[in-house]
Amino acid sequence: MSAEATNPVSAAEAAVTDTGVRRRGRARLELRRIGRAALLGATAGPAPRDRLPDAISHVAEAHRAHHPEADLSVLRRAYVLAESSHRGQFRKSGEPYITHPLAVTLILAELGAETVTLTASLLHDTVEDTEVTLDQVRREFGDEVAYLVDGVTKVEKIDYGAAAEPETFRKMLVATGDDVRVMSIKLADRLHNMRTLGVMRPEKQARIAKVTRDVLIPLAERLGVQALKTELEDLVFAILHPEEYETTRALIAEATGAGSPDALATVAEHVGTVLREADIAAEVLVRPRHFVSVHRVRLKRGELRGCDFGRLLVLVAEDADCYAVLGELHTCFTPLISEFKDFIAAPKFNLYQSLHTAIAAPDGAVAEVLIRTHRMHKVAEAGVVALGSPHGTAPDQTEPVEGPEAAEDGERTDPTRPGWLARLLDWQESAPDPDTFWSSLRADLAEDHEITVFRADAGTLGLPAGSTCVDAAYAQHGDAAHTCLGARVNGRLAPLSTVLADGDTVQLLLAQDSHSGPSPQWLDHARTPAARIAITAWLQAHPEAAAQPAAAPRPPLSVAADRSSGAELHADLDGAPPAPVRPAGCCTPVPPDTITGFRVRGGSVTAHRTGCPAVDVMRRLGRAAVPVRWGDAAQCRVTLVAESFGRPGLLADLTEAIATAGAEVVSATVEPPNEQRVRHTYTLQLTDAAELPNLMRAMRDVPGVYDVGRTHRL
């Protein structure tokens, strides 16, 4: 029996009930329309088999509003079993316990849940709290109902007190599996218990409210169940912040009381007139803000005006009508472009779709406007609850859904099997302990903004705002991302620490060496729990890698050799004594480069490539150019710079590639790594200058090397 079941007429509930100063024409789903008397009808005995019990008539009415053809006989049988099995059990308030599953089922029915979910909701406490067995539920109602009841039962059994909350919600996700209807029932169960916290001790009320705030409200957001989320937010607000709640409640009561000017209603009438004149069929409604929303607006804008207590909602038939409405509003009113958001072209991760804009009211106040179709509004309010069963026919579908449908980007296209839930289930298995899982879960759920980045293979990745290339690598490749060397962001090479923006294109570069792994510095750039847990696990399994010091300033590693050999160079000095000619180190010319010479200290001549920046500097300084030419010898000396991503064994592989190409290393310099990028500078002696292109190609083929070029510096 739920430990949270208490008096259904709590102070928090009464406070929220008093906010019923909702405006005419509201479009928000109100989950608390059914009074206490309807639920107390459950005290009557079971109804005859030929008619629906009076106690669930309100559930049936709400269910038929969404599913006119629904078979109510299974609900009758489920209610009879639940009522008889719970008979004699009472809540802490003294009410019959059957009022709790009835209230939970009514919440789901108002949201538009299908019959199987409502059946499981009526029975969700029977296996845990009565003598009814799971096999009995399976025999009478089928495997699907039994699966849901079993999942909710596993969740309900997880209750070890405040110290066990991390493990509680870890097990909740595991019990949910890939069917979010289990979580939907749990959320409705928590909502009813939050409504009825009146006789709990204040400290226990606060504990339950904090867990609801930290985990269940974000889960409701992820599931898109806004109607349920907003009421949970207000109930938590009333418990955890009673003073701010009372202030907000007084402001709403004053603004919406009798005799108060209705600024939004005036704007709504003006908008309706504009749309009618444009021949756009639309329903314009005033959508009051809930308590937490008003509180946030007050913190953002300071003094509240009439239009700040709600938003306009424009409902149309087709997607194209949404943009037609937007065009008329931006034409006939002064829009605030900074407030425009298009969630139709780019839906949120919870499938929310709508156009958001804001227009200036006649008195200068800002009126926010939501524009969506009726279908979008249903999904926005009820989320996955309104989208049907992941195992059967969903609304607006004619064929059953057979298993999860995988999108090209790996994100499940079936909204009742969301990909983010699959990811949570994956990384919770890798979490080393419940506390790590708990902190990671809270961090992940706290992200209320998500970006979409495009992969090089035309897929997409959904990531929290602020994610880096490290997060993208683990989101796309899982543990294979341990070998990631770097990335190209929008076609340009970028370090793994690069923060990604919405719409970026990311190509992850992986090493062929499966033994390479992440460095401890990656944890500084990882934002997602999946990346952090995977990196931490690898470092714990490879302590020698974790013990390596960070890339600290250190003298470059240099290897020097004989510098005397090189291609033959000659200078025409117009009768002057001959002088030694050597290639300039800044551009390292080799045959058959076009070259220009200049005298330097000591009487020698340096030869530069014609395009070298040093040539322009010399001429600006008034130095006279000296004609130089190549001799007959084919050998040459050249300095190459290899840009690469750091990895173990890179220096050895590059040296081997150089030796295989037949070049001799005169000197080599390796600079300290910087953001996983390493610069190698080699001065090489070639027996034939014609082999230089092949040598550079061989160096570029070394895994981790992304560019090889000749030096070109002052």
State which amino acid sits at residue 70: A
The total number of residues written for the chain in this structure: 714
Q: 425 in helix, strand or coil? A: helix
> How far is the C-alpha of 566 from the C-alpha of 583, rounded, in Å?
8
Are 590 and 563 in contact, with CB atoms under 8 Å apart?
Answer: no
- Looking at residue 215, what DSSP letter applies? I
> Which residue type is seen at 286?
V
- Beta strand pairing call for 450-455 and 505-510: parallel
Q: Let me know: does 228 contact 107? Beta carbons within 8 Å.
A: yes
User: Is position 129 annotated as part of the catalytic site?
Assistant: yes
Q: Are 348 and 322 in contact (CB under 8 A)?
A: no
131: left (phi over 0), alpha (psi -120 to 50) or beta: alpha
Q: Which residues contact 260 (CB under 8 A, 6 or more apart)?
A: 254, 306
How far apart CA 124 and CA 190 sit, in angstroms, is 13
What angle (nearest 5°) sits at the alpha carbon of residue 136, between those of residues 130 and 137? 85
Measured CA to CA, the distance from residue 118 to residue 102 in angstroms comes to: 10
Structure tokens at 557: 């590693």
- The enclosing H or E element of 524 equals helix 522-525
Alpha-carbon distances, residue 553 vs 67, 163, 494, 549 (angstroms): 69, 45, 22, 11
Catalytic residue (one of 129, 450, 513, 675): 129
User: Cα–Cα–Cα angle for 430, 431, 432, nearest 5°?
Assistant: 105
Cα-Cα end-to-end distance for the chain: 79
**Of 255, 260, 290, 204, which Cα lies nearest the Cα of 16?**
290
Q: Using the 8-state DSSP alphabet, how is residue 361 labeled?
A: -
Among the listed residues 4, 50, 83, 128, the single catalytic one is 128
The conformation of residue 687, written as its DSSP 8-state character, comes to S
Phi, psi of 368 (to 5 degrees): -80, 145
Contact assessment for residue 358 and residue 350, using Cβ atoms and an 8 Å cutoff: no
- CA trace torsion 536, 537, 543, 544 (10° rounding): -80
* Closest among 215, 138, 214, 148 to 178, alpha carbons compared: 148
Backbone angles phi, psi at 679, to 5 degrees: -115, 125
Catalytically active residues are 128-129
